[in-house]
Amino acid sequence: MDVKIEASWKQILSEEFEMPYFEGIVQHLKLAKQEGKTIFPPGPLIFNAFAHTPFDYVKVVLLGQDPYHNPGQAHGLSFSVPNGITPPPSLMNMYKEIESDLGIPVPKSGNLEGWAKQGVLLLNAALTVEANSPMSHSAIGWHQFTNQVIRVLSDKKEHLVFLLWGNFAKSKQTFIDSQKHLVLTAAHPSPLSAYNGFFGCKHFSLANQWLNDKGMAAIDWSVT
């Protein structure tokens, strides 16, 4: 199957695109479109995380669960929203932790493309969602695909940082070799759970310390 995804990822994941489950994803999305359903993010942005962070550039994996399901928010990068869209509550809590951890002032923009271009793979476990229907595409095959993305990164890369926030993200530890990579876990930054272990986790400075120790450039966690 000819999937429009960044070239290095296309090569790495080529076997996945020939799997029956991936054909099932494609057919599900085609049928939804035929039925007039609105799917987020727009088609050209479904693989946006891979476009901004080619395989060889990945240093940090920030795992989200589901794309935003309200109009104008989802653009294929976990936790991120396009320019001009108010940062959602979980992202605001991430900014507060960055300010506490690194002294970087809370920005007004919610667009995290700058992180992605530095090597932060902003990966959602499901890459699409039906408008106003959270988790609606969580069982159509995307999790099998993104689990394989995590496995491939763990197997083929060295010294990555995996940021796993919340119980769902923590469940992905099984695909990661913690002897090679730094796995940082905490509560989800959602307002419902941020005070249960996300605030004060210092994951942003810990990630940068690890990268520096391994001879890699730290991430500039500021957002412009």
User: What residues are annotated to the active site?
Assistant: 66
Rounded Cα distance between 97 and 194, Å, is 10
List, in sequence order, every residue forming a beta bridge with 130; answer none if it has no partner: 39, 133
DSSP 208: H
Which residues touch 148 (CB under 8 Å, ≥6 apart)?
13, 16
Which residues touch 41 (CB under 8 Å, ≥6 apart)?
48, 67, 74, 75, 76, 128
Structure tokens at 102: 């690194």
Compute CA 100 distance to the chain's CA centroid, rounded to the nearest angstrom.
Answer: 22
Rounded Cα distance between 181 and 191, Å, is 29
Count CB neighbours of 218 within 10 A: 15
